[in-house]
Amino acid sequence: MSIEHAKCLGVVDGAMFILEGGQTVTLAGVRAPRMGLPGGSAMRTILQRHVQDREITYEQIGVDRSGFPSVSASANNQDLGAIMKQALIDYGYVD
């Protein structure tokens, strides 16, 4: 797979966001609570702070269980998966 770049247009939850062109992707290996569940809103806000209206560098590495592209991604040279995994630990959602 190849490395691509696109602007983030919106955030669905703490692991899923929408890129230019309407493509919805998920961060590989990030199991954030969905919206409506405890922690869902907080995780969405954290991801939003890092990606909203920013250029995202990403590479598709698979497909999630819902059929969305699963990506390794960064914004401002920061690994988004690592950021969100640490946020989940900090907020007590994973060990």
Q: Encode pLDDT of 55-70 as tens digits.
A: 999 999 999 999 999 9
3-state helix, strand, coil in the chain (%, to 5): 25, 35, 35
3-state secondary structure of 7: strand
Contact between 74 and 67 (Cβ < 8 Å): no
pLDDT(16) > 80? yes
Identity of residue 22: G
Question: pTM to 2 decimals?
Answer: 0.93
pLDDT at 4: 96
% of residues, the chain, pLDDT over 70: 98
pLDDT at 93: 85
pLDDT(25) > 90? yes
pLDDT at 88: 95
Bridge partners (DSSP) listed for residue 16: 26
3-state secondary structure of 49: helix
Separation CA 92–CA 14 (nearest Å): 14
The confidence band for 95, taking pLDDT boundaries of 50, 70 and 90, is low
